[in-house]
Amino acid sequence: MPVFDRDASEDSGGRDALPKLPVPNLKDTLDRYLRCMKHLLTEEQFNKTQNIVTQFGAPGGVGELLQSKLTERSENVANWVYDYWLNDMYLNNRLALPVNSSPAMVFPQQNFMAPIDSLRFAAHLISGVLEYKTHLDDRDLPVDYARGQLAGTRLCMEQYYRLFTSYRLPGPERDTLVAQESSVMPEPEHIIVACKNQFFVLDVMINFRQLNQRDLLTQLEKIVKMADNKEEQLPPIGLLTSDGRTEWAESRSVLMRESTNRDSLDMIERCLCLVCLDDASGPELSDTKRAMLMLHGGGLTKNGGNRWYDKPMQFIVGADGCCGVVCEHSAFEGIVLVQCTEYLLKCMIGSPSKLVRAASVSELPAPRRLRWKCTPEIHKLITSAADKLQRMVKNLDINVHKFHDYGKGFIKKQKMSPDAYIQLALQLGFYRCHGRPVSTYESASLRRFQQGRVDNIRSATPEAFAFVKAMTEGKNSTSDTEKMELLKGAITAQTNYTRLAITGMAIDNHLLGLREIAHEMKMGKLEMFKDEAYLISNQFILSTSQVPTTVEMFCCYGPVVPNGYGACYNPQSDHIIFSVSSFHESQQTCSAEFVKCLAQGLRDVRDLCNKCNADCAATEERKGQTQKAHTQTETKWEEKSPQRPSDLTKNKQTVPQVLVKTTDQSSVEAQTQTLPHGEAQPLSKISKS
């Protein structure tokens, strides 16, 4: 079997071996917060915020008290932000999971010639899952080490162990991430297969023997037959899991009144994962269409009911070859999902299915259909959930774009961080589209620390703003040399922020920790966190994430605010895949337009680099030639006279010089005060360059 790029390590990457997440210095965070926000606020807003922050951070003030409590907390728990962050980011969020929260990986389009092919694919995939699960059970997954910035550090592996053993239980106010520990509950030994909105229990261990691929195919064929039986069909209960979390919690408690339903729920909640055998969804299967289908299943008329969104891993195998995986996000990050998914796909590529003949003939007990007792009340709840999902289907505006002009190979040649460069292109694209900078989120991994999840790289830096303004102002207002200097300054600022974030020194988790400690201390809502600037800082109109892959596939997710964009990117050496999402209901956004501006931005930055490189090369060449001429002249002079002519240095200075200007911080900040503010302009009102 291929499949791990790295050797299994003798160490399991356990908590003890990793440092604890540090608590940043209070003053550093408050200074950075002001710096991050200044150009995103009006002068009036900023002045007010500055006062609030100064008061909060004053010696002997409330900030210092909270900081000391937070430091105390950090000494007593493995990761001081973990619970706060999990609740804030996921479990308190009442929005429906599809599109709003659950990302999807879209696999390469499969070419299934006959219905059995999709079942073979599913059987193959399931046997990969079982093999992967064996590695998890034996705790012999190789430890991950950081790549890119500050490479080489070992990373926390905890998230992997939640892939197949956790479940997000809906709650009336807050959900719970339930982890199945083998000591508490029996290990799951079944998968739930969804087919035609029906759910079936596929036992993967029968008589102490794990089913092989052939057996799995046999069972899947039986499931398809059972699902086709119209008389046995039950209502599409799975739709309830696509509802808002509070609504689903209420529906679940209605379902729980019946013991049949309780048993069925229990089977789903304890399964390894779901495999959703989807019906074909229509003729045109572009990347964009496939991304949509992964995110919401196409609503009730397609495969929207063929899902159970609470379960972390739902593999989708469409009869039309549209395949992928949808995840409940609270248990792990996209990078862990990619590692697992790549393992499975590499397994499948490395050992093609041998199931060319008939399926297994062994007498396996038939998979069981999960039964539901549905009262009229439940029927009503299903209809209501279906309507809301349908609205979501209509609302999602997604655009998957493969940018083929260049990839990270070109960016590395510029001696720039590809991630920082792409973030700048996103800032430029957004500014072109909307004429203002906005609070931006970029996920930064904290897996260098015990129980590390993510913090935020605030990519809308003042330096990025100075750069995008220079790039979008009238043609001749800033010279290319100056633009290049602004670009370099912005790349440096972004790279520095990235390094801060991945070493636990970013501001978002810290501010969250201070806020939550204040809440625990029953201090009421502090000015600092009631302030409009704090609310604006958390309205991530641009929510971005790098999810790179080594297998052909891409990640996608929805926006996190109604008037925002979700922008996921997968940088490859010669191209970059972008998946941009927004909502049709917003008058302010349009994914296709944003993608157009983004692609134009990427081309403009490349042209700028090329032009400046060419200018540099020409300068170097001219310098070289002049040097040569001078050397020759010098030789000649030396031949004539031992005395060096006094004007030789003057001659040298006539060679054009590249302007090397350090980024002037104060001038950048002065410019930012005169910004246009307020609501984003509707696209129709924006004159596109």
What residues make contact with ligand COA under the rule CB under 6 A? 147-149, 333-335, 412, 415-419, 443-445, 454, 498, 502, 545-547
Half-sphere exposure of 87 (CA within 13 A, CB side): 10
Half-sphere exposure of 266 (CA within 13 A, CB side): 9
Which residue in this structure is represented by tokens 């990270």?
A: 408
Q: Rounded to the nearest whole angstrom, what is the least distance from the CB of residue 453 to ligand COA in the complex? A: 8
Q: Rounded to the nearest whole angstrom, what is the least distance from the CB of residue 338 to ligand COA in the complex? A: 8
6: nearest Cα among 183, 99, 144, 103: 144
Helix residue spans in 38-107 (DSSP H): 43-57, 62-76, 82-86
Whose Cβ is closer to ligand COA: residue 95's or residue 256's?
A: 95
Whose Cβ is closer to ligand COA: residue 355's or residue 446's?
A: 446
Residues 564/582, Cβ–Cβ less than 8 Å: yes
Q: Rounded to the nearest whole angstrom, what is the least distance from the CB of residue 109 to ligand COA in the complex? A: 23
Q: Rounded to the nearest whole angstrom, what is the least distance from the CB of residue 396 to ligand COA in the complex? A: 19
Half-sphere exposure of 429 (CA within 13 A, CB side): 28
Q: Rounded to the nearest whole angstrom, what is the least distance from the CB of residue 79 to ligand COA in the complex? A: 16
Whose Cβ is closer to ligand COA: residue 412's or residue 530's?
A: 412
Extract the runs of DSSP E, i.e. beta strands, from 467-550: 542-546
267: nearest Cα among 367, 340, 170: 367
Whose Cβ is closer to ligand COA: residue 89's or residue 206's?
A: 89
The catalytic site residues sit at 329
Whose Cβ is closer to ligand COA: residue 165's or residue 330's?
A: 330
Closest residue to ligand COA, judged by C-beta, is 148
The Cα 580–Cα 543 span in angstroms is 10
The Cα 367–Cα 242 span in angstroms is 25
Residues 123/216, Cβ–Cβ less than 8 Å: yes
Structure tokens given for 67 = 């900081």
The Cα 509–Cα 451 span in angstroms is 14
Q: Rounded to the nearest whole angstrom, what is the least distance from the CB of residue 5 to ligand COA in the complex? A: 13
The Cα 535–Cα 529 span in angstroms is 8
The Cα 391–Cα 141 span in angstroms is 41
Backbone torsions φ then ψ of 205, nearest 5 degrees: -120, 120
Q: Rounded to the nearest whole angstrom, what is the least distance from the CB of residue 139 to ligand COA in the complex? A: 23
Whose Cβ is closer to ligand COA: residue 30's or residue 454's?
A: 454
CA end-to-end distance (rounded Å), the chain: 52
Whose Cβ is closer to ligand COA: residue 339's or residue 417's?
A: 417
The Cα 151–Cα 182 span in angstroms is 34
Q: Going by C-beta distance under 8 Å and a sequence separation of 6 or more, which residues neighbour residue 6?
A: 142, 143, 145
Whose Cβ is closer to ligand COA: residue 433's or residue 486's?
A: 486
Q: Rounded to the nearest whole angstrom, what is the least distance from the CB of residue 248 to ligand COA in the complex? A: 23
Extract the runs of DSSP E, i.e. beta strands, from 185-285: 190-195, 198-203, 205-206, 209-210, 274-278
The Cα 616–Cα 622 span in angstroms is 10
